Amino acid sequence: NSLVQSMTHPSSLAYAHAHLALLACARLDAQAARDQAEAALRLGQLHGLPMWSAMAKALRGWALTQRGEVAQGLAQIEEGTALWQDRGFQHFMAFFLSLQVEPCLETQKLEKAAAALSAAGAVVESGTDRYWVAELHRLRGELLRAQGSGPGRVAASFRQAMDVALQYGARMLELRAAVSLARLWQSQGRRGAAWEMLAEVYGWFEEGFETPDLRAARAVLRSLA
């Protein structure tokens, strides 16, 4: 942030704020994502920077969904994603599309969630945004669960997410998928297996214990103890 504050070129400054918002979103920090996205939006509107305005709009939309403003936030995610795609960009498309999935699940828009996830999958299959593959598998599991699929199919998606995350060294995404799997197993009465599996993944971490993912994992572990 101190480096950002030293910048004077509007495009570079908007770029920095937009990417800080992206990183905050990836680690589920809604307040930071909103603050950085709004800073990028102000610069984008003031200096005519549609690229960073599009990214910032999608990320601010996600932040709004985390504050309970789901309908308004989802509309902004969709608008920002469409503006980004209209400019011909493929990078970050899978990420932006994935942000639509959980708000759609929350509002029972299952067909829209499936369409966003399918489009995101097509992006990563083309070789773009491979870093986000694990999260797409986890979201597929959440969609299958919302659709009433059998627990075996749901668990397989969560397991695949964990395996891919481990392969990529993406420990936070592995933990996120492990939390989803632990919640599934908890609902099936498999409390011991859920605790053992999640505790093993959680035990890898030595820092960042106040981040949203680790707090969520800790809460699930407490509920399983």
Reported as a single tens digit per residue, the pLDDT across 88-109 is: 888 999 999 999 999 999 999 9
Sign of torsion, CA 101 106 107 111? Answer: positive
| 12 pLDDT higher than 90 | no
Residues contacting 202, CB < 8 A, separation 6+: 175, 178, 214, 217, 218, 221
pTM: 0.92
| 209 pLDDT higher than 80 | yes
- CA-CA-CA-CA torsion for 115, 120, 121, 127, nearest 10 degrees? 150
For 173, the token pair is: 């995404």
| 3 pLDDT higher than 60 | no
According to the model, what pLDDT value does residue 129 have? 87
Note whether 83 and 92 are within 8 A (CB): no
Residues contacting 164, CB < 8 A, separation 6+: 133, 134, 137, 170
The pLDDT tens digits of the residues spanning 31-48 come to 999 999 999 999 999 888
Q: Shortest CA distance to 37 belongs to which of 67, 54, 9, 17?
A: 17
The pLDDT tens digits of the residues spanning 137-168 come to 999 999 999 999 999 999 999 999 999 999 99
